[in-house]
Amino acid sequence: MITILGIGTAIPEGYFSQSDSQEIADHFLNKDEQHQRLLPILYKKTKVKRRYSVTLKSSNKNLQDRQMLYSPINSSTDNGPGTAQRMRFFEQSASQLALKSSQEALQQAKLSPDQITHLVTVSCTGMSAPGFDIDLVHTLPLNPDTPRTHVGFMGCHAAINGLRVAEAFTRNDSSAKVLLCSTELCSLHYQYQADASQMVANALFADGSAALVLGQSDATTDIWSLQGCGTGMIAGSHDMMSWRVGDYGFDMTLSPELPDLIKNHLSPWMKRWLSKFDLKPEDIKTWAVHPGGPKILQGFQQAMNLSNEDLSASYHILEQFGNMSSSTILFLMKELQHRKAELPCVAIGFGPGITIESALFC
């Protein structure tokens, strides 16, 4: 059986909370007074209590004194740091988090770095070459001839795309031990000139890294065995979510229609996909739903006729960490394993397109 042998997570030391929202509105949002008054209300509606960021020092000082990348707005045309400066920050910060999450995953798997046969890395929030994949080879360290595959710029569901790659390696080679590491620094894309959808993104996204080790195992207890992955697209939704490289970081568009699209179109696709494994939605004991935001979770609940309790782990991760893009689903799976959640479990995320990526564990 192809199983998760270990999962590790890592977050930056610096964080900001809902109580920082008024200071963010006053100093880092280039909008009129009405928008500045609305921002703290928006922060509360996200249900996120704390988010971690590589741009913040860990201290008790006010937000401006903790901030290492962004300066308070100095004019109506100020857009903050350019994309090149933000990418330099990614290059300086990503590898340390990736190392911490990978070390924890290896420790839980009871494997040494030289036993890893393949490395799969995932990120949609930063680009550099050489990247944190090569840094992991040097710092863990892995064998220098370890094959590397990077899954880039696919969005919040990309860790499942990476899982599919890792699954292929392990099915092809029974001795393969694949390290999958997702590292996302979403806070590097804070937008000063924010429209409504970007204001929501500013209030939701955060930084984190998560890693897992996948391999074949003969164990029969306390395991998550990967049965397969699925992909779908919601027709007519191409422009409902996008993620593009802009001059001042990466720009997100997010339609308010997304929760309704999920509510109206997800269930038929889920039934078709699960039927390939001779399962029905009511057979699924645990749902690991990427917490893109409270409305997305609510749309999923309505689509699959679930309760808040059914998605309590998703709401917990959103509250404690925010949306860390592709890393979030691995944080969620770690939380569910800690809770000894029942199987089968479906892990699922949504991305630009609108695309669906899912994985079934039994």
Q: Tens of pLDDT along 6-53? A: 999 999 999 988 788 777 877 777 666 777 777 788 888 899 999 999
Q: Rounded to whole angstroms, how far apart are CA atoms 171 and 176?
A: 8
Q: Cis link prior to 41 (omega < 30° from 0)?
A: no
Q: Tens of pLDDT along 100-150? A: 999 999 999 999 999 999 999 999 999 999 999 999 999 999 999 999 999
pLDDT at 227: 97
In the chain, how many domains are there? Answer: 1
> How would you classify the pairing of strands 207-216 and 148-152?
unpaired
Would you mind telling me the total number of residues written for the chain in this entry? 362
Q: Would residue 336 count as lying in a domain?
A: yes
Q: Where are the alpha helices (DSSP H) in the chain?
A: 21-28, 33-45, 63-66, 83-109, 132-139, 158-172, 196-204, 258-275, 294-304, 312-321, 328-338
**Residue 230 token pair:** 């699925």
Please list, in sequence order, all residues whose beta carbon lies within 8 angstroms of the beta carbon of residue 195, skipping any fewer than 6 positions away: none
Residue 248, domain extent: 226-361
Whole-angstrom CA distances from 123 to 39, 139, 161, 209, 210 are 28, 19, 11, 10, 11
Residue with tokens 């795309």: 161
pLDDT at 65: 85
* Full strand arrangement of the beta sheet holding 177-185: 2-10, 207-216, 177-185, 118-123, 148-152
Q: How confident is the model at residue 54 (pLDDT cuts 50, 70, 90)?
A: very high
pLDDT at 96: 98
Q: Would residue 154 count as lying in a domain?
A: no
Three-state secondary structure call for residue 59:
coil
**Worst-scoring range by mean pLDDT, 205-214, 216-225, 313-322?**
216-225
Q: Rounded to whole angstroms, how far apart are CA atoms 137 and 307?
A: 43
Would you list the DSSP string of 226-242? EEEEEEEE-TT-TTSEE
The answer to whether the CB of 10 falls within 8 A of the CB of 206 is no
Three-state secondary structure call for residue 3:
strand
Q: Would residue 103 count as lying in a domain?
A: no
Please list, in sequence order, all residues whose beta carbon lies within 8 angstroms of the beta carbon of residue 55, skipping any fewer than 6 positions away: 14, 67, 68, 69, 70, 89, 187, 188
Q: Tens of pLDDT along 243-254? A: 999 999 999 988
Mean pLDDT score of the chain: 93
Residue 158 has pLDDT above 90, yes or no: yes
Q: How confident is the model at residue 272 (pLDDT cuts 50, 70, 90)?
A: very high
Residue 203 has pLDDT above 80, yes or no: yes
Q: Would residue 292 count as lying in a domain?
A: yes
Three-state secondary structure call for residue 7:
strand
Q: Cis link prior to 144 (omega < 30° from 0)?
A: no
Q: Calculate ∠ Cα 134-162-213, nearest 5°.
A: 75
The maximal CA–CA distance of the chain, rounded, in angstroms, is: 62
Q: Tens of pLDDT along 306-362? A: 999 999 999 999 999 999 999 999 999 999 999 999 999 999 999 999 999 999 999
Q: How confident is the model at residue 99 (pLDDT cuts 50, 70, 90)?
A: very high
CATH of the domain at 351: 3.40.47.10
Q: Rounded to whole angstroms, how far apart are CA atoms 323 and 325?
A: 5
The answer to whether the CB of 190 falls within 8 A of the CB of 70 is yes
Q: Would residue 247 count as lying in a domain?
A: yes
**Residue 259 token pair:** 């929760």
The answer to whether the CB of 362 falls within 8 A of the CB of 226 is no
Please list, in sequence order, all residues whose beta carbon lies within 8 angstroms of the beta carbon of residue 311, skipping any fewer than 6 positions away: 287, 289, 297, 300, 301
**Mean pLDDT across the stretch 250-279?**
93
Share of the chain above pLDDT 70, in %: 99
Please list, in sequence order, all residues whose beta carbon lies within 8 angstroms of the beta carbon of residue 174, skipping any fewer than 6 positions away: 216
Q: Would residue 321 count as lying in a domain?
A: yes
The answer to whether the CB of 343 falls within 8 A of the CB of 285 is yes
Q: Rounded to whole angstroms, how far apart are CA atoms 40 and 34?
A: 11
**In Å, how far from its chain's centre is CA 211?**
11
pLDDT at 319: 97
Q: How confident is the model at residue 268 (pLDDT cuts 50, 70, 90)?
A: very high
The answer to whether the CB of 287 falls within 8 A of the CB of 317 is no
pLDDT at 292: 93
